[in-house]
Structure 1
Amino acid sequence: MPKMKRVFTLLTFLFAVVSLVVLPVARVYSADCSKVEDLFSSTYDVTFSLQSNGDAAVTQKISLKNLSSDCFVSEFGLTVNSGRVQSVSGKDSLGTIKTSSKKEKDATIIIARLNDEVIGLGRAVVFTLEYTLKGLASKEGNIWRVSVPNIATSEEVTAYTLRVRSPRSFGNIFSTTIEPKRKIVGKDNTVLEFNKEILETQGVTISFGDSQQIFFNFKLPLENKQLFRKKFQVPIPSDTDSQVVLLKEMKPKPGRIYLDKFGNYLAEYTVPARSFIEAQIEGLVKIIDTDSGEVATSGKEFSEEELKIFKEESAFVQVQESLIQEQAKKLEDTKKIYNFVTKTFQFDSRLETNLKKDRVGALSIVSNKDSKLTTTDFVDLFTAISRAAGMPTRQVIGLVVSKNAANKPRYVGPPLYTKSLHTWVQVYDKDQKTWFDVDPTWGNTANADYFGGNFTDRIALLFTDSTYGLENLESFTLLSDSVEVGYSSSPEDFTPEVSMDIDLDQPVAGFPADLEIKLANNKGVSLASSNLNIELDNLTVVGESQKKLEALLPFEKRVIKFRVRGGNFFGKLEGKVKVRLVGSQKEIQKEQNVRIDSLFSFGVQQTSLIGILVLLILGNFAPRFFRKK
C-alpha cells in the first residue's frame, strides 16, 4: 500500500466588497501533492444574508472530494482581503471545527482544522464555515449596492450555488450585472440565486431600490477673447433610456437647447466680443431601472441608418485594422470583449502624478499587450473591437460620484487631460432597442463586474464617436470648483409641464386655412416622443391628421402646422377643433370652437377671389376692346 502523504492546503475563497483581491495560498509537504487541481474537487453552496445595516452573515457549505490515494487535506484556509471579518465559526460531521483568524494589513486569514480529514480515493468531506462580513452592502444615495466577487481556488469546482438574501427594506431589485437563475420575492426577503456560470465572471454586483437621484451644479466660465461675438455649445445631462433629467435653474438662460445627432443636449450661449460670462446650471438626474415600467424620455431615438456611425472607424478607434478585426472574430460578443480588455491589460497608476499621457489609440494598445492603459485607452480598445464585431458602440464622458479614487480612477485624456470627468462606453442592444453601460476601466481596477445593468453612480454628459464634442467640455475642467455632483434623496417631480394653444386662421368655405398647434415646455424636463392627433367638426385636414413628435426638450417651444378646409358655400357653420397630445408621460387635450364663413360672405378671402375674377375678366375682354378701337 503506498505511503499516504499529507497535504496542508489553504484553499482561497473570497466574498467581500468590490475592492477585494483574492489571495490564493497553499502549503504542500510533498512535491507529489503540489498540484491541488488534480488531487481534489469541490462543490460550494454559499449564502449571503444581508442585514439591514449592510453587514452580511455568510454561510459557506463546502464539499471536498479526494481524487488521490496518496494525499489528504486536514486544514482549510480562507483569505478575505478585508479587515472587517468577525465571528468566525465552523463545523463538520464530527462537531465544531477549531477555527482561528488573523489580520494581515487589510486582509483576514481564516484557518479551519477539519475534524474529519479527507483521506482515501473518492472520499468526500462536507463542512461549513460561518462568519460576518461588516459593510458588504453600502447605501449610495437611494440605492443599496452589494458586490460579491468570484471565488479563486486551486481545486476543480464541479458545482457552485450562490444565494444572496436581502431584506425587503432594501427595496426592489434595481439591476444585476448577471441575470440570476432564480428570483424569490417574499414578504420579508428577496433571494437571488446564481449557479456555476458566475465563475466565468468577476462576480456579481446587485443594486436594490426604486431609483437613484444625483444632483449637479455647474459654474462654467465662458470667455470670448475674440473681436466678434462667439457661440459656446455647452453639453448638459441628456435624457436616455435610464436617465431622466430635471433642469432646475439656468443663469443666464441659453439662447436655445437642442439635440444633436449623437443624442446630446447642448445649451447654446452667445458671448459678446471680449467678454466673460459664468453659466450656472443646476439640476437633478433620476436613474431608473429600464425594466421597472417607469418611462424615460429617451432623448434621441436612433434609426438603423443613424446607428451606422457607431459601427464605423473614428480617430483612435481603428476598426478596419487586421489586428482589431482578428480580435473581434475571436471574441465574438461584448462580454468576451469586456473580459479580454479588463483581464489582459493593466491600468497606468502613474496618472496619479502625471496627467499628460498621450492618447495612443486601439491599434497601438492591442499591438503591445504589456501596455499600461489610461481610462481613455481602455475605452478606445473596447470600442474598436466591439464596433469591429458589428455592435454599435458609443463613448460616454460624464460625472461620477466616487469616494474611492484608487479603485475607481477618473481621467479623460487629450485634449482635456482632466480627472474631473470619467469615460466609459455604451453598447446598443438591437433586440431591446436600448443602450447599456460598460466600464472597462473600473472592471479592471475595482475587481467587480462593470458590464451591463444600469450604473447608478454617474451622469452621462457627452456621447461621442471618440473625439466629437470634446472641445465643448473644456469649461468643465478650468476651475476646481466648476462642477459639483452628489446623491440626493429629496423628492422631486420629474413630470413635464406642457401648455398648448390653438391658432386657426378664419376658415372660409372652399378655402384652405392654416391651423397651428403651439406647444411650450415650461419646465426643465423633456416630454418624451408623443403623437399629436387632430379631430375636426365641419372641417377636414388636408393630409394626415396625426403627427409623431420627437421629444420636446426643456423650455422648448414648437409650432406644428396643419392645413384644413370645409364649410358651406351659402351659409355660416359652427365648427370645432379638438387636439390631443398623447405620450407615455402625459396626455393633453384642448378644443376650440370656430366659425366657418360661407363662400359668399364678405372677408379677405372672398375679396381676394373677387379681385382675381375681375382681373381674369378684364384680361379676357381688354384685348378685344383695344382691337375694335
Structure 2
Amino acid sequence: MLRLILVVPVLFTFCLWISPQSILAQTAFQSRVKTTYTVDLTGLTQVHQIYTITNLTASAYAAHYSLDIASPTVNRPEAYSLSGEAIVIEALNQPSGTSLTLTFPEKTVGKGKELTFSLTYFDPSLSQKIGSALHLTLPGFTPDSAVQVDTTTLMIPLEFGAPVSLSPDPDQVQSDPAYTKLIYFSTDRLAAGLKALFGDKQTYQVALNYQLINATITPVDTQITLPPDTPNQRVYLEHLTPDPVALHADADGNWLATYHLDPRAELLVDYLSTVVIYGSVQPDPHPRPAGQAYLASDRFWPVDDPKLLELANHLQTPTAIYQYLVTQPQAADSNLAKLVKRSGSAPVSAQSDLTSLDYADAFITLARAAGIPARLHRGYGILTQPLTPSQAGLGPAFHAWADYYDQVTAQWRPVDPTWGQTAAAAYFNQLDLNHLTLRLHGVNPEPSYLNQIPGPDPALTDINVSVTERYPPKTTHLTTAVTLPLTTRLGLTHWLTLTLVNASNYTLYDIPLTVSVSNRDLVHPPSQTLPALIPSQTANLKLQFKPSWPQPTSIIMVNAYGQTDTHLLHYYTRYVSSGLLLGGAVILAGLAFSLARPAWRLLFPRSSPPSTLPRQSQKPPSTSQ
C-alpha cells in the first residue's frame, strides 16, 4: 500500500517530504485546491479548502494527507469527505507552526480516479481587527508542479467597507448581501503574498509626557513639538497641561507650544489627543506650495553630491527611487555611504546598520536631486504584526518615512522604503493605518539636537498609543474680543484690535471672517480669510475703524466660521470735526502772531538808519567889500 504524504509549509505551498515513497507519490498523484478565506466581524479568519487528488497510476491510492502550516495558532480543524463522512485529523501545534495529518476512511483506486475532501480551520494570525479597521495578510508561496492552486476567494464583511489598500488587485470583485468577494484566478499573482486593509481610518488615543528643564540662572522660553495635521492624519486635542504661553504652527505645519521657565526650574507637560489616521491621502485643507525650499540641500540631504546626482538622474521618478531602495538594498547601501548616518534608532535588519531615518533620508536626497520636492516624517510605527522575525515583540517604535510632492495631483504622497523591504505589499503612495506623524521636516532645517535622538523632541519622555473605537466629537468654537482706543474723533481712522482664539479641539482651516457695524461707522477690511488656527492658538488682527456718527457706543458683529459674536463698545467721541480743528488752529496762530508783533517792537525798538543821501557842501556867505 502506497501512502501519499503531502506537506504545506505556508498555506498554499505544496511540496513533498523527500523520501522514496514521497517521490513516488509525487509522480503518482496530482492535486488541486480551492481556498476561501472568510473573515467575521471580530476579525477572525476561517480557512476553507477543497482538495481534489487525482490518481495518475492504477496501482496507488492515498491513505494519508499531511500539511505543515506556518502558523502556530491554527485551531478547530475539521475535514470531511465528499459524501460528508468525517475524516480523522491529528493536529500538533508547535512554535514554528502547526502540523495536520488526515487519515482517509476509504480507498480510491484506479488511474484517473479522484479523491475530494474539504478541510476547515481557523487561523487568527491571518487577519486582525484593530478599532474599526481590518488588516489581512496572507504569506507567499513557492509554486509546485504537483499541486495546482485553482481559485482563491476572500470573503470580507460589508461592514468593513471597500479595501483602502490591496496588493495584488483581485481578478474579480463580487458582492452579496453580507460579504465583499475578492477572487483570484491566477496563482502566480499570489506567489508574493497578499496584503489588504479594509476600513478608511483608524482612531488612536495618544498620550505624551514632556519634561522641560532650565539649568541656567536666567529665565528662558522653550518650545515642544506636538503631533500635527498631515494629509493622512487629523489631530483632536483633548488637553495640554499646563497651558502654554503661546501655540503656533511653523512653516512645515508642526504644532509648537511655548513655555516660560524660571531659572533652575523644571516643568512636566501632559498631552492627550485623539488622532485619526486615514488609509488614503485626504484633501489637504491648507495646502502649502512645494517650492524650492523642498528641493534644498542640507547636511543629511546632500543633493549636490555628484554621485548621488548621477544616480538620481538615472532613476528620475519616485517609483524608480522607491524600487531601487527596496529591491536593491546592497547597491543602495553602497550609495548611501555618501549620506551622513543618523543615530538613535534600531537598524532596519540584522544585516545592515541603516535605520529608517537613513532610508527616508536616502529617498528625500535622491528625489530632490531629481527635481522632486520631498520631506521627512518623524513619527511612530505601530506594529500590529511583526514584519520580520527579528522585529517580533518590538511593538510601537520610533520610525521615519518620507513624502514626495505629486505635481499632477498637487498632493503629498507617502513613501516608506524601510517597511517596503519587509512587508508583502508596497508602501508607496499609500501607507497602512499604523504611521503616526509626530514631526514634519521639509522647509525648516532640523534642529541640531534631533540628529542624535530617534524621537521628534528631546523633551519627550514617554509616549503611549492605544487603539480606540471612539471617534472624537468635533467641538467647533471661536472666542472673539474687540478693543479700540477709548477716545476717538469723528472722521478720523483708528486701529481696532480683533482677537480670535480657537477654542475648538481641532485645527480650523480657511476661516471666513466678516466684521460689520450696526451704525454708519466703518471697518476695513470688512471681510477676510484666515489660513489656519490650531487649537488654543490666538490671533490678533488690526482693523481700521472710522467713527462717523457722534454717539458713545457702537455694536460690532463678528462672523467667523459660521459663528456670530456681538460686541458692544463704549468709547468717547469728540464732536469737533477735523475741518473745524484745522480752521481754529489757523485762526489761533494768526491771532498769536498779531499780538506778538507789537510786543516785540516795544521790547526791542529799532534805531533809525543813517541817511544814504549825499550831503550838500555848505559855503560861507559872501561879504561885499
Normalising to structure 1: TM-score of the pair? 0.69
Candidates 374, 395, 402, aligned match of 1:425: 402
Shift in Å at residue 45 of structure 1? Answer: 7.4
Shift in Å at residue 589 of structure 1? Answer: 2.4
Asked whether 1:304 is paired with 2:290, we answer yes
CA 1:603–1:276: 2 relative to 1, 3 Å: closer
Asked whether 1:615 is paired with 2:575, we answer no
**Counterpart residue identity of residue 563, structure 2:** I
**Counterpart residue identity of residue 46, structure 2:** A
CA 1:192–1:403: 2 relative to 1, 3 Å: closer
**Counterpart residue identity of residue 484, structure 1:** N
Query: What residue in structure 2 maps to residue 176 of structure 1?
Result: 165
Cα deviation code 1:362-408 (max 9, x no counterpart): 4889xxxx854222222222222333343332221123444667749
State the alpha-carbon separation in 2 of the partners of residues 547 and 291 from structure 1. 29
State the alpha-carbon separation in 1 of the partners of residues 328 and 432 from structure 2. 24
Structure 2 matches for 1:436-447, cutoff 5 A? 436-447=413-424
Candidates 564, 568, 573, aligned match of 1:589: 564
State the alpha-carbon separation in 1 of the partners of residues 317 and 213 from structure 2. 45
State the alpha-carbon separation in 2 of the partners of residues 157 and 463 from structure 1. 50
**Counterpart residue identity of residue 440, structure 1:** P
Candidates 309, 317, 324, aligned match of 1:340: 324
CA 1:438–1:131: 2 relative to 1, 3 Å: farther
Q: Is the contact between residue 90 and residue 99 of structure 1 (CA under 8 Å) also seen in structure 2?
A: no
CA 1:191–1:559: 2 relative to 1, 3 Å: farther
State the alpha-carbon separation in 2 of the partners of residues 129 and 609 from structure 1. 100
Candidates 561, 580, 585, aligned match of 2:559: 580
Cα deviation code 1:5-63 (max 9, x no counterpart): xxx99897657xxxxxxx89678999xx9xx9xxxxx9997643212343323456899
State the alpha-carbon separation in 2 of the partners of residues 78 and 340 from structure 1. 37
Q: Give the 3-state SS of the residue equivalent to 2:72 in structure 1.
A: coil
Query: What residue in structure 2 maps to residue 392 of structure 1?
Result: 373
**Counterpart residue identity of residue 559, structure 1:** N
**Counterpart residue identity of residue 206, structure 2:** F
Shift in Å at residue 588 of structure 1? Answer: 1.4
State the alpha-carbon separation in 1 of the partners of residues 320 and 108 from structure 2. 41
Q: Is the contact between residue 537 and residue 575 of structure 1 (CA under 8 Å) also seen in structure 2?
A: yes
Shift in Å at residue 616 of structure 1? Answer: 3.9
Query: What residue in structure 2 maps to residue 556 of structure 1?
Result: 537
Structure 2 matches for 1:196-345, cutoff 5 A? 203-208=194-199, 211-218=202-209, 220-288=210-278, 298=285, 301-305=287-291, 308-345=292-329
Asked whether 1:533 is paired with 2:510, we answer no
State the alpha-carbon separation in 2 of the partners of residues 426 and 339 from structure 1. 15
Structure 2 matches for 1:29-428, cutoff 5 A? 47-58=36-47, 80-85=69-74, 87=77, 105-108=95-98, 132-153=122-143, 163-168=153-158, 170-173=159-162, 175-178=164-167, 180=169, 187-192=177-182, 203-208=194-199, 211-218=202-209, 220-288=210-278, 298=285, 301-305=287-291, 308-345=292-329, 362=339, 371-402=352-383, 407=388, 421-428=398-405
Shift in Å at residue 304 of structure 1? Answer: 3.3
Q: Give the 3-state SS of the residue equivalent to 1:551 in structure 2.
A: strand
Moved more, 225-234 or 450-459: 450-459
Q: Is the contact between residue 177 and residue 452 of structure 1 (CA under 8 Å) also seen in structure 2?
A: no
Cα deviation code 1:412-452 (max 9, x no counterpart): xxxxxxx9622222333444444343332223234454334
Candidates 462, 466, 489, aligned match of 2:439: 462
CA 1:626–1:231: 2 relative to 1, 3 Å: closer
Asked whether 1:497 is paired with 2:477, we answer yes
**Counterpart residue identity of residue 289, structure 2:** S
Q: Is the contact between residue 192 and residue 424 of structure 2 (CA under 8 Å) also seen in structure 1?
A: no
Structure label with greater radius of gyration:
2
**Counterpart residue identity of residue 398, structure 2:** L
Shift in Å at residue 243 of structure 1? Answer: 2.0
Q: Is the contact between residue 409 and residue 442 of structure 1 (CA under 8 Å) also seen in structure 2?
A: no
Shift in Å at residue 529 of structure 1? Answer: 2.6
Q: Give the 3-state SS of the residue equivalent to 1:612 in structure 2.
A: helix
Shift in Å at residue 176 of structure 1? Answer: 1.2
Q: Give the 3-state SS of the residue equivalent to 1:249 in structure 2.
A: strand
CA 1:188–1:230: 2 relative to 1, 3 Å: same
Shift in Å at residue 208 of structure 1? Answer: 2.4
Q: Is the contact between residue 515 and residue 556 of structure 2 (CA under 8 Å) also seen in structure 1?
A: yes
State the alpha-carbon separation in 2 of the partners of residues 331 and 99 from structure 1. 54
Q: Is the contact between residue 213 and residue 286 of structure 1 (CA under 8 Å) also seen in structure 2?
A: yes
Q: Give the 3-state SS of the residue equivalent to 1:606 in structure 2.
A: coil
Shift in Å at residue 617 of structure 1? Answer: 4.5
Shift in Å at residue 225 of structure 1? Answer: 1.7
Q: Is the contact between residue 532 and residue 548 of structure 1 (CA under 8 Å) also seen in structure 2?
A: yes
Q: Give the 3-state SS of the residue equivalent to 1:373 in structure 2.
A: coil
**Counterpart residue identity of residue 392, structure 1:** P
Q: Is the contact between residue 163 and residue 194 of structure 1 (CA under 8 Å) also seen in structure 2?
A: yes
Shift in Å at residue 206 of structure 1? Answer: 0.8
Q: Is the contact between residue 48 and residue 163 of structure 1 (CA under 8 Å) also seen in structure 2?
A: yes
Q: Give the 3-state SS of the residue equivalent to 1:528 in structure 2.
A: strand
Q: Is the contact between residue 428 and residue 436 of structure 1 (CA under 8 Å) also seen in structure 2?
A: yes
Q: Is the contact between residue 318 and residue 384 of structure 1 (CA under 8 Å) also seen in structure 2?
A: yes
Normalising to structure 2: TM-score of the pair? 0.69
Shift in Å at residue 530 of structure 1? Answer: 2.0
Shift in Å at residue 264 of structure 1? Answer: 0.8
Cα deviation code 1:466-515 (max 9, x no counterpart): 97146267998879962222223345323332123455678876444545
Q: Is the contact between residue 394 and residue 425 of structure 1 (CA under 8 Å) also seen in structure 2?
A: yes
**Counterpart residue identity of residue 319, structure 1:** V
**Counterpart residue identity of residue 399, structure 2:** H
Residue-pair matches, total: 563
Structure 1 unaligned runs (5+)? 1-7, 16-22, 37-41, 65-73, 347-358, 411-418
Q: Is the contact between residue 342 and residue 443 of structure 1 (CA under 8 Å) also seen in structure 2?
A: yes
CA 1:528–1:107: 2 relative to 1, 3 Å: same
Shift in Å at residue 236 of structure 1? Answer: 0.9
CA 1:142–1:555: 2 relative to 1, 3 Å: same
State the alpha-carbon separation in 1 of the partners of residues 548 and 168 from structure 2. 61
* Identity between Structure 1 and Structure 2 (%): 19
